[in-house]
Structure 1
Amino acid sequence: MRLSQFFLPTLKETPSEAQIVSHRLMLRAGMVRQLSAGIYSWLPLGYRVLKKIEQIVREEQDAIGCNELLMPTIQPAELWQESGRYEDYGLEMLRITDRHDRNMLFGPTNEEVITDIFRKDVRSYKQVPQLMYHIQWKFRDEIRPRFGVMRGREFLMKDAYSFDIDYESSRHAYNKMFLAYCRTFSRLGVKAIPMVADTGPIGGDLSHEFIILADTGESEVFCDKKWLEKDLTGQGVDLNDRTNLEGWVQKTLQDYAATEEKHVPENCPVAGDDLIATRGIEVGHIFHFGTKYSEPMGATVLGPDGKEVPVMMGSYGIGVSRLVGALIEASHDENGIIWPEEVAPFRVGLINLRTGDDACDAACEDIYGKLKNAKIDVLYDDRDIRAGGKFADMDLIGLPWQIVIGPKGLANGVVELKNRKSGERSEVTLEAALNRIGA
């Protein structure tokens, strides 16, 4: 993409409403613009990151056999009245009335809808387990939306749901999702620690939040420092072997990690310098809640003995749009964002130091074409502005690599290659630059 054709409204000054780093940088980098309190438009740069994260989440859900579907944003109140949550959920639920005076709501989550889908078409224990997910916009009417997309009212979320015949099978589904989450966050380039958590309005008796440690996090968290070095990729774990998977999950969770609600200081098994007490950003939350929804909503199947059995359920959420902010909180410097390569909006920023110079223009067009042919996302800064402005914008938007082409370098047969994360700069041949980026 040529920057002269790309909508990238960067800002030099930080807007006064931005309180944390991710909000400041997302506004300055032209990723989002606020439409209303807690509601944002995603501009082209931000939307590219959002779609990259969404795709990684999707791939890891598909890898454990989770079926993707799409449920509506607007839901009938009757379903929530059936489950008993309509009044309990509170003021965060946006309640509306249609032209026929029917009570509706903008879904904050989808346990009721997915349970209704299940109960209409699944009759026998032979049709379970079922594991389904969708990636959809949600709305929760926060009393004080703040911190940009980190605590907005409208947000993009992946929510998955499991249905099983008995407790052991439902715990296996929970463990599969636990591993999928560990692998998802590892691919995104962040350490998200699974912590024992409160179940809140979702309900149930088993829950883990996946937390990125950050000083700007919204809640206090506590964990053993061993988590900082722990491998959470789950290499070699067999998803279909319940014993193998259960063993890995239990071994992973043997070290202490808990949210503020679940942390009891006098009972904490970790003391002194081994206990990390800090703040954290929740990017995922998984729940096992048994028959909380299936019993009141009549989601039953005929068991092997011919008797009706309410299915055991779980739900599993990842904040896709929140992750954009969380990744920035975890990876930035004084000059701007530093994107992990897996989610960067473009992998390479190509800078023409002298637009209008025949040699520079020709060299940039050549490398731009080669990068595109190699299927490498590139943003070519072909604007006719000062070099300082180009450097500042590239550092601000945080692309992993920068290739800088100018008259002096071309005269010597080299280009400048910069790694955004390390700050390392080197003068190399064009071929060497392409090889390094391709590797």
Structure 2
Amino acid sequence: MRLSRSLVPTLKETPAEAQIASHRLMLRAGLVRQTASGIYAWLPAGWRVLQNIAQIVREEQDASGAQEMLMPTIQSAELWRASGRYDAYGPEMLRLKDRHERELLYGPTNEEMITEIVRSSVKSYRELPQNLYHIQWKFRDEVRPRFGVMRGREFLMKDAYSFDLDYAGAVVSYRKMMLAYMRTFQRLGLKAIPMAADSGPIGGDLSHEFIILAPTGESQVFYDAAFEGIDYTGGQFSFDSEADLQRFHEMMTGSYAATDEKHDTAAWAKVAEKREGRGIEVGHIFYFGTKYSEPMGLTVAGPDGKPVVPHMGSYGIGVSRLVGAIIEASHDEAGIIWPDSVAPWQAVIVNLKPGDAACDSICEDLYAKFAGKALYDDRADRAGAKFADADLMGHPWQIVVGPRGAAAGNVELKRRATGERQELAVDAALARIL
């Protein structure tokens, strides 16, 4: 994209309503604009980040054996009455009626709908296990939306739902999803800690929330150093080996981790290598047995022909919340510092003198070779404004093309995360990035 022709409305001043770093920077970098309380439009740069995060989530869900589908945002109230949750869920649920006075709701989650889909489609134990997921918009009517996309009312979420014949199978599904989550967060450039958690309105008796470490996190976190240094993506654990999954699960749940709300000082005293920090919740997984399948009449024919009620779990990742969480974990006074895996563009090409033949030629050549993966700052603005926007927007690499260097066939390459600068030949700079 050429910046002169793009909708990337950066701001010099911080909007008064932005209270935390991610909200300030998302507004200033032109990622989002608020359209109503707790509801945001995602502008082109923000949408690219959201898509990159969703794609990593999708790839790890697929690798775990989960199947992608898409369920609607609007659900029937009758489904929720069948599970007993319609009246119990509370005012966070947005209830509405259509022109025929049928009661509907904007889904905050999809346990009821997926249970009904499986009830009408799966008839035999031979068709289990099943794990189905989608990446879809949700709505929860927060009483006090704040902190931008971190605590909004409309949000993009990945929610998956597992169906197994018995408890033992459900635990395997749970472990697969825990591993998929740790691999996902590592690919997003985040340090994540799984912590035993309350089930909340979802229900169930086995639950973990995933906290990513960020200096401005919402809660104090205490954890064992054993969580650091594990390469979840390096083939150490296999989705296809139950022994690997059990070993991984024991490692994750056997090391101490707690937020300030569940901190056990006696257990903490026994931890050899203590770590503390701040954390932000970005995911939650639950096993809840037959909490939904039984009241909604989901049964399958078991091996002996008798009806069996499948055991279920659900697994959520806040995709849009992750955008804010990544910024909270990775920014400085100048702006965002995107991890390479989620940045809207791999690099920004900064033309310091548009109209100069050598500068224009090098910039156009680089822009073509990036094939849509670089943003070209071709504006006629001052160099200082271009540098400030490049830092603010957080591009992993900045390729600065000025008249002196261009005459010699060189560019300046800056790594945003470290501030390191090098003068390189054009091809060497391109090779360094690609």
Give yes or no for TM over 0.5. Answer: yes
Distance 1:277 1:385 in 2: 44
Distance 2:40 2:50 in 1: 13
Comparing 49-58 with 249-258, greater Cα deviation is found at 249-258
Quote how far apart the aligned CAs of 1:345 are: 0.3
Match of 1:356, SS? coil
1:408 maps to: 404
Match of 1:237, SS? coil
Give yes or no for the alignment of 1:326 onto 2:325.
yes
Quote how far apart the aligned CAs of 1:269 are: 4.1
* 2:417 aligned to which of 403, 414, 421: 421
The letter for the 1-side match of 2:48 is R
The letter for the 2-side match of 1:424 is E
1:223 maps to: 223
Any conservation in 2 of the 1:15–1:27 contact (CA below 8 Å)? yes
Match of 1:101, SS? coil
Quote how far apart the aligned CAs of 1:363 are: 1.9
Comparing 357-366 with 10-19, greater Cα deviation is found at 357-366
1:136 maps to: 136
Distance 1:241 1:226 in 2: 22
Match of 1:395, SS? helix
1:36-435 pair list within 5 angstroms: 36-233=36-233, 235-261=235-261, 263-265=262-264, 267-270=266-269, 274-372=273-371, 377-435=373-431
Distance 2:80 2:366 in 1: 57
The letter for the 2-side match of 1:76 is S
- Show structure 2 runs of 5+ residues with no match: none
Distance 1:180 1:28 in 2: 33
Quote how far apart the aligned CAs of 1:279 are: 3.3
Any conservation in 2 of the 1:355–1:361 contact (CA below 8 Å)? yes
Quote how far apart the aligned CAs of 1:278 are: 4.2
The letter for the 2-side match of 1:141 is D
Distance 2:338 2:326 in 1: 8
Size of the aligned set, in residue pairs, is 434
Comparing 46-55 with 271-280, greater Cα deviation is found at 271-280
Distance 2:214 2:415 in 1: 24
Quote how far apart the aligned CAs of 1:222 are: 2.8
The letter for the 2-side match of 1:165 is L
Quote how far apart the aligned CAs of 1:224 are: 2.2
Quote how far apart the aligned CAs of 1:225 are: 3.6
List per-residue Cα deviations over 1:260-307 (Å, max 9, x = no partner). 45x253553445895445432111111000010011111111111111
TM-score, with normalisation over the residues of structure 2?
Answer: 0.97
Distance 1:120 1:221 in 2: 43
Distance 1:70 1:292 in 2: 23
List per-residue Cα deviations over 1:207-246 (Å, max 9, x = no partner). 1111012343333433224334444436232222212211
Any conservation in 2 of the 1:197–1:259 contact (CA below 8 Å)? no
The letter for the 1-side match of 2:425 is T
Quote how far apart the aligned CAs of 1:93 are: 0.6
- Show structure 1 runs of 5+ residues with no match: none
Comparing 50-59 with 300-309, greater Cα deviation is found at 300-309
Match of 1:11, SS? coil
Distance 2:220 2:393 in 1: 30
1:2 maps to: 2
Comparing 132-141 with 408-417, greater Cα deviation is found at 408-417
Quote how far apart the aligned CAs of 1:112 are: 0.3
Quote how far apart the aligned CAs of 1:82 are: 0.9
Distance 1:215 1:419 in 2: 22
Distance 1:425 1:268 in 2: 47
Quote how far apart the aligned CAs of 1:414 are: 1.6
Match of 1:396, SS? helix
Any conservation in 2 of the 1:179–1:234 contact (CA below 8 Å)? no
Quote how far apart the aligned CAs of 1:360 are: 1.3
Distance 2:415 2:425 in 1: 16
Any conservation in 1 of the 2:256–2:271 contact (CA below 8 Å)? no
The letter for the 2-side match of 1:99 is R
Quote how far apart the aligned CAs of 1:258 are: 2.5
1:26 maps to: 26
The percentage of aligned residue pairs carrying the same residue is: 64
Match of 2:180, SS? helix
Quote how far apart the aligned CAs of 1:357 are: 1.5
Distance 1:232 1:104, change over 3 A: same
Distance 2:245 2:223 in 1: 23
Quote how far apart the aligned CAs of 1:259 are: 3.6
Distance 1:260 1:56 in 2: 30
Match of 1:253, SS? helix
List per-residue Cα deviations over 1:392-439 (Å, max 9, x = no partner). 11110001111111111123332101001110001111111011112x
List per-residue Cα deviations over 1:126-171 (Å, max 9, x = no partner). 1111110000000000001110000100000000000000111110
Match of 1:435, SS? helix
Any conservation in 2 of the 1:224–1:270 contact (CA below 8 Å)? no
Distance 1:4 1:213 in 2: 36
Any conservation in 1 of the 2:222–2:263 contact (CA below 8 Å)? no
